[in-house]
Chain A
Amino acid sequence: MEQPEELRHVRRLVSSLRARGGVGALSAECLGEVPEVDGVVLSVLAAGAGEVMLSDSGPFADQVEDQHSRSGQGPHLDATATGDVVLADDLRAPAARARWPLFAPEMSAAGVNSIFAFPVSIDGLPVGILSLHRGAAGPLSAAGQARARRYSEAAAVLLGDQASGGAAGGVVLPVYAGELQQAVGIIMEMGGVDAATALHRMRAYAQHSSRPMREVVAEVRTCRPPFDPTAAT
């Protein structure tokens, strides 16, 4: 069971996050508190929609998510399957390549060599992932792990508040998360593809053109995607 001191930390964190935009602000706040990593992403395992990203910070978040959904492997999926923290401190290492033969080489080729996945659990059931990632290989410090765990618990509280709604529209997606899904819908319609393919096409374009995903999303939302939505990637 948790120490009362630790619970107070989580509660304080929840209050401050709530005042600053809830789960939408969580990734950026967490990255600020754990500067030893390059990026943070918070996603939820949604029914019928795969991993839905609620917030992200840093340049690699979309690639980390994209590789998970393409390969069906990776620390996120292991962490949500088991409910345990998965610390992959070197994706180039043989052990990591043996564990995730598709995911690990692709991820390190994309420039991400360590991923630390903290499950976000409600009533003991993993509902999402708070994931920290870094270009360089190497472990996450004990202090970094403690902070990340605290943020994953705060995410669970914030999501739990919304889940308890019951009535229609219990969960409110953060603004950017909603805009991203609107852009997915636009590519679905223009390209005649499903949601996963549409999202992958946007992410692949952003990666190949070295453009921030937010810019790509903004352009798609003006109905002028900077790439051909019908072309396979």
Chain B
Amino acid sequence: MDDVRLAVRRLIAASARPGTSTGMFLQQVCRTAAQALSASGAGISMMTNDGTRGVCAASDPVSERVEELQFVMGEGPCMDAFATRRPVLIADLGAGAVSRWPGYVPAALQDGVRAVFAFPLQIGAARLGILDVFRERAGPLSATELPMALHFADVTVEALIDRQSDAETAADADSLAADVGHGAQLFQAQGMVMIQLGGSITEASARIRAYAYAQNRRLDDVASDIIARRLRFDKDQP
């Protein structure tokens, strides 16, 4: 176990070199975790206390899709782990989990994920996000894997806090301006689509996300199209 701890630290230290963006760092953590836990993949979503999603990362494209799924569906082990501040360990998505997450489970199974283990990234009262570990086969994490996964979560939190205390983190003024612009446009698009649908903000947000997911397009681009009135959503269309 100590060997594993050391190996984990070394891997994370190597990926936390100055100039590495938080996104790249988290991706490295996901890859390392997937390998060490004989998982098919892993994903991390940073979240604020009110559940809004921030930076996310995944070990591979399929895991990124599955990680994204919870935010499209608005439900899943990650959401629950974040809300309850406890790990949510689902050794077999095929066994009854569908009644808990009726939208998420069939879609995850379709993407080939059979087991999901979600670990909160938190320290004291502060919640930073969630680490999700995905497996293609059913079955629990073993007696050595579970503590290792928890250790991964702890080390990730430490590394994130260290990065945050360093004011020089690869900050980029242009990307900030672009991100805030995209953020503002996404919210504006939600307001517009809400009126187009005659529904709620939640419905509008879900429709936009579902559209982006189905069309395999970036949410930012879809929002720009809505703002520019190149794309609209109507009540009677599904």
Q: How far is the CB of B159 from chain A (nearest CB, A)?
A: 13
Say yes or no: is A93 at the interface (Cβ < 8 Å to chain B): no
- Cα of A36 to Cα of B149 in the assembled complex, Å: 51
The B interface is mostly helix, strand or loop, or mixed, namely helix
Q: Digit string of A55-76 for contact with B (CB within 8 Å is 1, else 0)? A: 0000000000000000000000
In the complex, number of A-B residue pairs with CB atoms less than 8 Å apart: 191
- Cα of A189 to Cα of B194 in the assembled complex, Å: 9
- Residues on B lying within 8 angstroms of A by beta carbon are 21-24, 26, 46, 48-50, 52-57, 125-126, 163-165, 167, 169-185, 187-196, 201, 218-220, 227
Contact of A47 with B178 in the complex, beta carbons under 8 Å:
yes
Which of A19, A167, A185 is in CB contact (< 8 Å) with B23?
A: A167
Per the CB 8 Å criterion, the residue count for chain A at the interface is: 55
Q: How far is the CB of A149 from chain B (nearest CB, A)?
A: 15
Contact of B191 with A184 in the complex, beta carbons under 8 Å:
yes
Chain B residues with Cβ under 8 A from A186's Cβ? Answer: 191-192, 194-195
Contact of B187 with A169 in the complex, beta carbons under 8 Å:
no
Which of A127, A167, A173 is in CB contact (< 8 Å) with B187?
A: A173
Say yes or no: is A146 at the interface (Cβ < 8 Å to chain B): no
Which of B26, B164, B177 is in CB contact (< 8 Å) with A127?
A: B177
Chain B residues with Cβ under 8 A from A18's Cβ? Answer: 126, 164
Knowing A49-B185, A185-B191, A185-B194 touch, does A169 contact B56 (C-beta < 8 A)?
Answer: yes
Q: How far is the CB of B167 from chain A (nearest CB, A)?
A: 5
Q: Which 5 A-B pairs have the closest CB atoms?
A: A185-B191, A181-B187, A160-B171, A167-B23, A163-B176
Say yes or no: is A195 at the interface (Cβ < 8 Å to chain B): yes
Say yes or no: is A4 at the interface (Cβ < 8 Å to chain B): no
Which of A123, A125, A159, A161 is in CB contact (< 8 Å) with B164?
A: A161
23 contacts between A and B (CB under 8 A): A22-B48, A46-B177, A47-B181, A49-B184, A52-B183, A122-B172, A123-B171, A127-B177, A161-B164, A164-B21, A171-B179, A171-B180, A172-B52, A177-B184, A180-B187, A181-B187, A181-B188, A182-B194, A184-B188, A185-B194, A186-B195, A189-B195, A190-B195
Which of B165, B181, B190 is in CB contact (< 8 Å) with A49?
A: B181
* Residue on B nearest A178 in the bound complex, by CB: B187
* CB-contacts of A148-168 with B (<8 A): 156-157, 159-168
Chain B residues with Cβ under 8 A from A47's Cβ? Answer: 174, 177-178, 180-182
- Cα of A184 to Cα of B201 in the assembled complex, Å: 13
Q: Digit string of A11-38 for contact with B (CB within 8 Å is 1, else 0)? A: 1001000110110000000000000000
Chain A residues with Cβ under 8 A from B218's Cβ? Answer: 168
Knowing A171-B183, A181-B188, A182-B187 touch, does A122 contact B173 (C-beta < 8 A)?
Answer: yes
Which of A122, A162, A168, A178 is in CB contact (< 8 Å) with B219?
A: A168
Which of A11, A125, A159, A195 is in CB contact (< 8 Å) with B227?
A: A195
Contact of B192 with A164 in the complex, beta carbons under 8 Å:
no
Chain A residues with Cβ under 8 A from B57's Cβ? Answer: 167
Contact of A167 with B190 in the complex, beta carbons under 8 Å:
no
Contact of A127 with B181 in the complex, beta carbons under 8 Å:
no
Which of B50, B185, B190 is in CB contact (< 8 Å) with A175?
A: B50
Contact of A123 with B173 in the complex, beta carbons under 8 Å:
yes
Q: Can you add 14 more A-B contacts, CB < 8 Å, to A172-B48, A188-B188?
A: A14-B167, A47-B177, A52-B181, A122-B172, A161-B171, A164-B163, A166-B21, A178-B183, A185-B193, A185-B194, A186-B192, A188-B191, A189-B192, A189-B194
